[in-house]
A and B are shown apart, each in its own frame.
Chain A
Amino acid sequence: MNIKLSMSDRLIVGISNLLLGAAVLVVLVPLLYVVFASFMEPTALLNKGISFHAADWSIEGYKRILTNDAMIQGFVNAVFYSAAFAAVTVAISVFAGYPLSVDGFAGHRFFMTLFVITMFFGGGLIPTYLVVKNLGMLDTVWAVIIPGAVSVWNIILARTFFKGIPKELNEAAKVDGASDLLLFFRIILPLSKPIMFVLALYAFVGQWNSYFDAMIYLENPKLYPLQLVLRSILIQNQVAPGMIGDQLAMAEMKRLSEIIKYAAIVISSLPLLIMYPFFQKYFEKGVMVGSLK
């Protein structure tokens, strides 16, 4: 676009750019503050705020966080839950999306209705909890992975993708005598790597950042995902024993708790924040395909 702008137009663009600059600062400053604060010596942070004197820096917070058993366990659990959840939900979505994309699939309307109704109606928290409980899934890994594994949204995304695959490909394979099974696993699945990747990213990030299901379904702290451990540190102010030695006074505990929090935030959020720019176009693709329906 090479449109000539008048003076007043240029003024408006200038104001708009200033506002955008302000928005960038509003987003960036708190994030940078957390990162800098996590490397500060606690007393210096309290008295001076962020400082750039090497003498005021410390990695104490990270030492405490990285040697904390609950944190490490939570991290390992979160990696496992997120990967397992992504694998299960991608498989289910792709499997279900394919038949629904086939022309003339008998029962198409019935199954779509069955799925779409659940986007608007639900049994609610307690009835769902009772089902999970009655299945004996409470306090097991399954409770975190299985109840939320079917996402109607993901099924629709997968179906939309499959509809975009040229039909000639199917027909050629059928003429060659390939069975449905062969067709799906040999031709369709390899072609659907992009959509599987997008779905897996969303599922992984979603599971990594969630705490609610784990909070209501899990009792055993050994099974806690990272977000639940973070909740106890950041929100319930429970600095786990072992993170600060028993012999240390309350004052020391107070002194350290702030930078432990900052370090915990950085350690838990950094993996996603570093990873996401590389995958930005896939995340955007997910939003776009979804809005097209």
Chain B
Amino acid sequence: MQGSSRIRKSKLDYIRRNPFLYLLLAPAVILTIIFKYVPMYGAIIAFKDFNPSKGIWGSEWVGLKHFVKFLTAPNFEVIFMNTLKLSFYGLLLGFPVPVLLALMLNQLRRAGVKKNIQLVLYAPNFISVVVIVGMLFIFFSPVGPINALITSITGAPVKFMSDPDYFRTVYILSGIWQGAGWASIIYVAALANVDPELHNAATLDGANLMQRIRHIDLPTIKPVMAIVFILGAGGIMAIGFEKAFLMQTALNLPASEIIPTYVYKVGLQSGNYAYSSAVGLFNSAINVILLILVNFIVKKLNEGEGLY
């Protein structure tokens, strides 16, 4: 007891001697409390029948009513599966591309060429999601350039942007188009740190290129891959609201309605705050469970190396 009070005393002492340091930290702490922790407290409206005039505290407690309502809603399964599929396929298809790009870039001997290729591959990362989706609507419209090509061969345009069957494909492939180059940076940098002597020695021992990639390059980037994968899987339910929302049309809703767009519509457009918060909370809970689960699996497969 005496020990802990002494520590507390020395801490207080430290604060008294260094008030300036705490002053510097204050803006970040205050804003974090207001815009992150107060909303976490506010999320309890998911368990209440929120009435703005009574406030969060005064509103009536209804327990899991809103959660049950969502889980038994006729469209629950569709929305839930849409969210899961979009993220899962996105991770599955999107994860290997940056690794592949980095391995290929690593084979380029001329630094100038490599740099210029990287310059081009990174560029789409700097285009806004509004412009990307705008470009998708133009390029894939029934009278757009892609369909001009398709029509000249098959005679009929493909309804890429309105047919639910194409929503996920267009969403995921355009995501790879935009993000894969940028995502390869971290692997490229890790590969640049490989000692060239390692490759020389392996070659002398008769290793061919594929063997060197498998036994030198891949093990080098494996820890980074594990972290990127876990973070990607942990973000599965946190899938980008922004792009899905922009790509949504009345016709592709059967595939494009995902939990975050549903939360937005029910909450902000229909003003059903409590129900919408419950749906959002359900989504976050699944997300945290997935993060823990995937981290556990990767740790098992990766000799104990996980995110935490």
A122 touches B39 (CB 8 A): yes
Partner of A131 from the list B14, B42, B122, B241 (CB cut-off 8 Å) is: B42
Question: Contact at B35–A131, with CB atoms within 8 Å?
Answer: yes
The interface residues of chain A lying within 8 Å CB-to-CB of B284 are: 121-122, 124
Contact flags B190-231 to A (C-beta < 8 A → 1, else 0): 000000100110010000111000000000000010000000
A16 to B108, CA, bound (A): 9
Known: A12-B209, A155-B28, A261-B134. A20 touches B14 (CB 8 A): no
Interface size of A in residues (CB-CB distance below 8 Å): 95
Q: Does A31 contact B (CB under 8 A)?
A: yes
Bound Cα distance A118, B129 (Å) = 24
Residues 245-291 (chain A) with a chain B CB within 8 angstroms: 258, 261-262, 264-265, 268-269, 272-273, 276-277, 280, 283-284, 287-288, 291
- Kindly state whether residue A59 has any CB partner on chain B within 8 Å: no
CB neighbours (8 Å) of B112 from chain A are none
Residues A130 and B273 in contact, CB atoms below 8 Å apart: yes
Q: Which residue of the partner chain, among A34, A95, A126, A235, contacts B276 with CB atoms under 8 Å?
A: A126
Contact B209 A1 (CB under 8 A): no
In the complex, A115 Cα to B146 Cα: how many Å?
Answer: 47
A residues less than 8 Å from B117 (CB atoms): 20, 24
State whether A125 touches B263 (Cβ < 8 A).
yes
Give the docked Cα–Cα distance between A99 and B28 (Å).
Answer: 12
**Does B288 contact A120, Cβ atoms closer than 8 Å?**
yes
A residues near B (Cβ < 8 Å) are 1, 3-6, 8-9, 12-13, 16-17, 19-20, 23-24, 26-28, 30-31, 33-34, 46, 49, 91-93, 95-96, 98-100, 102, 104-107, 111, 114-115, 118, 120-132, 135, 146-150, 155, 179-181, 184, 205, 208-212, 216, 227, 230-231, 233-235, 258, 261-262, 264-265, 268-269, 272-273, 276-277, 280, 283-284, 287-288, 291
Q: B residues near A, CB below 8 A?
A: 10-11, 14-15, 18, 20-22, 24-25, 27-29, 31-32, 34-43, 45, 56, 101, 103-105, 107-109, 117, 119-124, 126-131, 133-135, 137-139, 143, 145, 148, 177, 181, 185-186, 189, 196, 199-200, 203, 208-210, 224, 241-242, 246, 260, 263-264, 267-268, 273, 276-277, 280-281, 284, 288, 291
